[in-house]
Amino acid sequence: MKRIVHIGIWWDKRRSPEELTKDKARVQQILSRIGMGSLFHPEQHYYDFHLEIGAKALKVLIDELQITPHLASSHIRIEHRYTQQELESAELLLWHPSNQAIEDDYYDFYAEGELHRDLYQRCLTCGARTKQIRDLIVNKALMRGKDVSWTYAFEVILSERVGQLFQEHGLAGFELRSVHHYRKPYKGEPTLYQLVVTNVLPPMASPPTEFEEKWPHRNQCEVCGRRSYFLKHTHYWGKIMYYEDTDVYYPHNVLERVEDFNRSAEYFGELRVSHPYIIITQRVYRLLREHKVKNWVAKPIYLVDWHER
C-alpha cells in the first residue's frame, strides 16, 4: 500500500497588503526549499502537491509549515493506493460505489403531485432510519451508463446487468428491490435494482479499528438507541491537521459468519443518514473485475486475533 498525501500551500488574498507580501515571500521560500522554486508565480496563490509518505520533500514541507501553519491548505488528506496483489489476497473488502449520482432525496420527499411519503420509518427523536417501507423512486435517467451508484441517501442502485449477474452466480447475503421512475414510464426506461444487504456481521475489532471520538453526545440517540460512528480520520503533524481514515479490522472468526455480501453492525455518518458499510468476499471482488463492472471501489479489510474487551 502506498500512502499519498494531497497537500497544498497558499496565501489568502483577503489579508492586508503587508501580510500578503510576507505570505508570498514565505511561499516562495518554501517552494525553493522543497526543490520546486520554479513553480512560484506572484499571481498564483495556491500550489497543490501529491507526495508519498516518506518523501524528503514532504518532510521538508511539513517542517516548514510548522513555522507558518496558516499557509497550509485546510483539507490535507492521505489517500491509500493498493496493489492488485493486496486487493486479490484480502479475504474481505470494504466496497461501495464510486459515484453518488441519484437524487433520491429530492424525489422521495417532494414527489410531484403526491403527499410526502418518506422512504423510511424513522425514529421520531433523532430521525434515524429504522426500516425501509417502500421501494425507491428516482430519476432513472441519472443512472444512464452506470453499473452501480449511490443515492444521495447512501442506498446502492444496480443496473439490470449487474443485478442479474449477482443472481445468476448464486451470490448470497442480499436481496434486490425494485426501483421506480419518479414520473410516467418512458421509452427505453432501464430496469434498476436496489441492493439490500441482509447479512449482518459481528462488531469490528476495536482496537485496532479506531473510531473518531469527537462529539459522541451527538451520535447516539437516547430513545431509539442508534449510534453512529466515523472511522478515525483527523490526525496532526504538529500544528498541521490532516485527514486519513484508519483501517478496518475484524477478528478471524468473523469468517464463520460471512456470506458474499455483508454489512457492518456499526452505522457510519451523521445520525439521520447513518448507514452500515458493505463488506464483500474475494469471490464478489473477482466476479466484478471479471465482468468489467464499473463505478465501484474496494479496499482490504484486515483479520486479526482478537477477543472482546
Listed residues 81, 103, 130: the one ending a domain:
81
Say whether both 62 and 130 belong to one domain: no
Distance, in Å, from the CA atom of 233 to the CA atom of 243, rounded to the nearest integer, reads 5
CA distances to 20, 65, 68, 181, 293 from 14, in Å? 8, 20, 17, 47, 47
CA angle, corner 225, sides to 222 and 230, nearest 5?
Answer: 100
Among 166, 12, 130, CA closest to 156: 166
Q: Domain range spanning residue 294? A: 89-231+248-309
Res 227: pLDDT: 92
Nine-digit cell string for 101: 449520482
Q: At what angle do helices 17-33 and 56-67 cross, to 10 degrees?
A: 150
Say whether both 185 and 288 belong to one domain: yes
Res 217: pLDDT: 56
Res 109: pLDDT: 55
- Against a cut of 0.95, is the pTM above it? no
Say whether both 19 and 165 belong to one domain: no
Distance, in Å, from the CA atom of 243 to the CA atom of 50, rounded to the nearest integer, reads 14
Please report, for the domain that includes residue 28, its CATH number.
3.30.70
Say whether both 144 and 37 belong to one domain: no
Residue 150 lies in a domain: yes
Domain count, the chain: 2
Among 123, 139, 142, CA closest to 131: 123
Among 270, 301, 258, 17, CA closest to 153: 270
pLDDT along the chain (309 residues), means of 10: 96 94 96 96 95 96 97 95 96 94 65 66 91 91 93 93 97 96 86 97 94 73 92 93 94 96 95 94 98 97 83
Res 184: pLDDT: 84
Strand pairing partners for 72?
Answer: 9
